[in-house]
Amino acid sequence: MSDRFTTFDVREVVKESEIITSFYLEPRTPLAREFVPGEYLIFEHRPENGEPIRREYSISGTRDDEIRVTIKRELAPEQGLQDGIMSTRFHDATMAGDTVKAAGPMGAFTLDRDADRPVVLLSGGVGLTPVVAMAHELAGTARETVFIHACENGQVHALGQEMRELATAHENFSTHVLYRTPIDRDQLGRDYDTAGMITQDLLEKLTPGKDVDFYLCGPGPFMAAMYDTLLAMDVDPDRISYEFFGPATVLRPKKKTVAKPTASDAPVITFAKSGVEAAWNPAEENLLEFAEENGVMVDYSCRAGTCVTCMTKVIKGSVSYSVDPFEQPKDGYALLCCCVPDGDLELDV
Ligand SMILES: Cc1cc2nc3c(=O)[nH]c(=O)nc-3n(C[C@H](O)[C@H](O)[C@H](O)COP(=O)(O)OP(=O)(O)OC[C@H]3O[C@@H](n4cnc5c(N)ncnc54)[C@H](O)[C@@H]3O)c2cc1C
């Protein structure tokens, strides 16, 4: 096992809602550094006969020397398919007294600690985990902070009381919760503030000022809708930070045309299965972005060299890593999210 993984003792397991559970974990050796709100840990499970399974879970808070992760049970979308491997393992087979292995903290979706602008933390479903960590840091500071959370109803609403308590204790911090389909026992004003979905009108009312930092996390359709709403509100895209919890497309508007490299000797990139060939554009940060710009869809998750979802077979040529991947991919493969071509390149995608 890579020595970047640390053993954590599971100290407590807390059910937060019918589908979401928190795990309080104490590392046996100190982490490499303190975490920045928004970062995640990578958990690894090594089945007896099989490849290691790795999944990211955002740090949702801390308690003394313990780190908390808050995990949704991912059920199979339809009969005959397998339930989510790692989340089911956490929910059904991880209890106080057990140990788990994780590496980190890491991630690019982090609270800008140098800014002094007001903040809107905008989350859907289990996407609240990284922004809950941000909420804890922001509450009690000079930055006005609004925590807006949307979920189905009280059955699946996690950490609601924790956020309400934060709002009661700190003047700069307020919450607004939306339930799409409240059930009988859900009480307006106590459990949630609005029935239905987040609208532009509501977002405009809740946003504290013109120059505000937005942090978004939630399911793909939620993120796409929120991003478009923020753009419609004339929010500068540079003020919007976001993270997906699974494969999804980047939100920022795609360039209409691909800027052609000026050098005539630019490497030629061939995406064999897609039948696409294009001259490498040095303005691109990595081959994943370049593939997307050229209409080649590659599965990805973390976009940070950890989850290996974008690992692709290299048929011809070689790559260099612009960002060190968490672990080198197996021979003959490349992690497209963090590498650039050394020359002409043919990829099996
Ligand atoms: C940066 C980051 C942070 C994250 N933080 C959190 C967090 O704080 N909390 C959290 O709960 N999650 C978080 N996630 C998501 C998490 O990493 C996992 O992706 C999630 O728990 C699912 O993993 P799994 O192993 O349970 O499911 P997987 O085994 O990966 O399966 C995913 C889904 O696909 C379904 N599936 C299985 N087989 C098939 C098939 N053949 N066809 C179609 N569907 C199928 C499964 O039933 C499941 O619903 C984060 C992800 C990222 C990238």
Please give the residue range of the domain that contains residue 196. 119-243
Strands 66-72 and 53-63: antiparallel
Q: How far is ligand 1, taken at its centre, from the CA of residue 55, in Å?
A: 8
Q: How far is ligand 1, taken at its centre, from the CA of residue 84, in Å?
A: 6
Q: Which tokens hold the place of 128?
A: 């609240």
How far is the first Cα of the chain from the last one, in angstroms, to the nearest whole number?
29
Residues of the chain with confidence (pLDDT) below 70: 1-3, 246-264, 301
Helices (H), the chain: 85-93, 128-138, 160-169, 200-206, 220-232, 287-293
| Same domain flag for 281 and 220 | no
For residue 246, which atom of ligand 1 is closest to its CA?
Answer: 53
| Same domain flag for 143 and 227 | yes
CB atoms within 10 A of CB 7: 14
The answer to whether residue 311 sits within a structural domain is yes
> Roughly what angle, to the nearest 10 degrees, separates helices 160-169 and 128-138?
20
C-beta of 129 in contact with ligand 1 (< 6 A): yes
| 132 alpha-carbon distance from chain centroid | 13
Residue 233 · residue 200 · CB < 8 Å: yes
For residue 88, which atom of ligand 1 is closest to its CA?
Answer: 26
| Same domain flag for 186 and 294 | no
pLDDT at residue 253, rounded to an integer = 55
The answer to whether residue 258 sits within a structural domain is no
| Same domain flag for 129 and 100 | no
pLDDT at residue 252, rounded to an integer = 60
Q: Closest residue (by CA) to atom 40 of ligand 1?
A: 81
**Last residue of one domain, picked from the residues 190, 210, 243:** 243
Q: Closest residue (by CA) to atom 6 of ligand 1?
A: 57
The answer to whether residue 254 sits within a structural domain is no
Rounded to whole angstroms, the Cα distance separating 250 from 217 reads 13
pLDDT at residue 179, rounded to an integer = 98
Q: How far is ligand 1, taken at its centre, from the CA of residue 33, in Å?
A: 26
Q: How far is ligand 1, taken at its centre, from the CA of residue 23, in Å?
A: 17
Separation in Å, CA 69 to CA 17, 25, 77, 183, 348: 14, 8, 23, 27, 36
| Same domain flag for 141 and 92 | no
pTM: 0.85
For 249-300, strand residue ranges (E) read 268-271, 276-279
For residue 20, which atom of ligand 1 is closest to its CA?
Answer: 11
Rounded to whole angstroms, the Cα distance separating 47 from 114 reads 42
Q: Closest residue (by CA) to atom 37 of ligand 1?
A: 82
Question: Residues 61-107: pLDDT tens digits?
Answer: 999 999 999 999 999 988 888 899 999 999 999 999 999 999 999 88
| Same domain flag for 63 and 139 | no
Q: Which tokens hold the place of 106?
A: 């890491």
User: Which is nearest to 181 in space by CA: 194, 163, 190, 164?
Assistant: 194
Q: How far is ligand 1, taken at its centre, from the CA of residue 74, in Å?
A: 6
| Same domain flag for 94 and 126 | no
**Last residue of one domain, picked from the residues 66, 84, 106:** 106
The answer to whether residue 306 sits within a structural domain is yes
C-beta of 245 in contact with ligand 1 (< 6 A): yes
Q: How far is ligand 1, taken at its centre, from the CA of residue 89, in Å?
A: 12
